[in-house]
Structure 1
Amino acid sequence: MSLLTNFHFIMAVVYGYSSYFYVYGVVQPAEITAAQKSTYGAIKYLTYWDLLVQCAFFTLCFLSNVFSSAQQNKRKTAPEKILDFLFSSIVFPLALFTDTTFWGLYFTDRELVFPKVYDDFYPSWLNHVVHSLPLAAALLEMLCVQRSFPSYKKGFLCNSLFLAIYLSWVLFIAHTTGDWVYPVLAKLPTPQRSLFIFGLFVLMWLCYSVCRILYSFKWRQPARSEKKVHQKKNK
């Protein structure tokens, strides 16, 4: 197997095992579990959503490496186009968003996002797989693979829709259980909470834009759709 295929395989295994361990290997003390009204488990956290997204993406990348019949200088297959779209609109922006928001809040006041008591039962290696590895792996993917991007509008809408779905999930949990997923949301008054949520959308949009900008720097060309790239080659 090529180095790229090995990389995709390793990332798929790491994310797959970490997703499993996150749910079945992390055992919270009874007093912490009792204090949480929500019973939705790991699926209520954006970091776990990101873990699943990264696992699915790198698994599909590995399978594409192994089974794809596409050859150089030919148009990409449908699965490859889907991977390109997912990487630019969700995978990279979500990795950047998750890592920057977590560590930004962590170093500001860790009790707002990852209370110190978690250190007793939440492994350090898992913390870094969940909150550090996604961006590192996404950057390496961008350096190694030249991908085609959707139009800015399509990628922007997909990016926004993903975050809107997750935030709707957070609000649903808060409405039905009275338990905010993140302590920082619980501590903010309603007006400031609304501004904070809007700020998250702005940050996610910035992360999407950063993805396209970094791509342009690396590959010395604007982020364009596969169709436009193909049309240029045929001129």
Structure 2
Amino acid sequence: MALLSEKDAKKVQEILNALPSTVEVHFFTQELECQFCRETGELLRELAALSPKLKLVEHDFLLDKDAASAFSVEMVPAIVPVGPAGDLGLRFYGIPAGYEFASLLESFKLAAGADPELADETKEFLSQLAQELELEVYVTPTCPYCPGMVVNAFRLAAASPKVKAAMVEATEFPHLAIRYQVRGVPRTVINRGQAYIEGLVPESHLVETLRNLS
């Protein structure tokens, strides 16, 4: 049974066909002890069948250690979109379902080479960035504000090799949600707990928080 309705599939197909270049979607999965690996795989296969602009590459997380190491993937399900500029540091941990489906489509656009459309102040900040930054945005599929924060983080990562950004579905990784005290979403964890941002904030707020890191 298709996960997308015929109407939604047609809209998504138009979006995918309009991508400026082909995107390789690396999907890390395993058969056991992975709550949504099967569903995530079904979704990605359905998307890849809609357009030649998506090339799905599936990896067994337990067997394909080289690929997992190359992309620094530590848990599954994991999605890594890779375009002509290579790996931009965009990651999905957990199924991008519900509202997060929009984040998935946006990641394809960025990986394909779309302009991140950042403010001039943000571009200046990124050009002067000395340290590497890791942004993990904890979400749930039913959170309408979460995709906005995920995309904010993804745009920074797409514009700078020093920034990596991930969507983490909180209910699939409860040990991490507990570690980072995720009580509401979105909650953005910076550098594995060096700083936090609660809720959806403007790009300028995100950049100011990053600027103030010691």
More strand by share: 2
RCO comparison, higher one (Cα < 8 Å, 6+): 1
**Whose radius of gyration is greater, 1 or 2?**
1
Could you tell me the TM-score, scaled by structure 2's length?
0.28
Could you tell me the TM-score, scaled by structure 1's length?
0.26
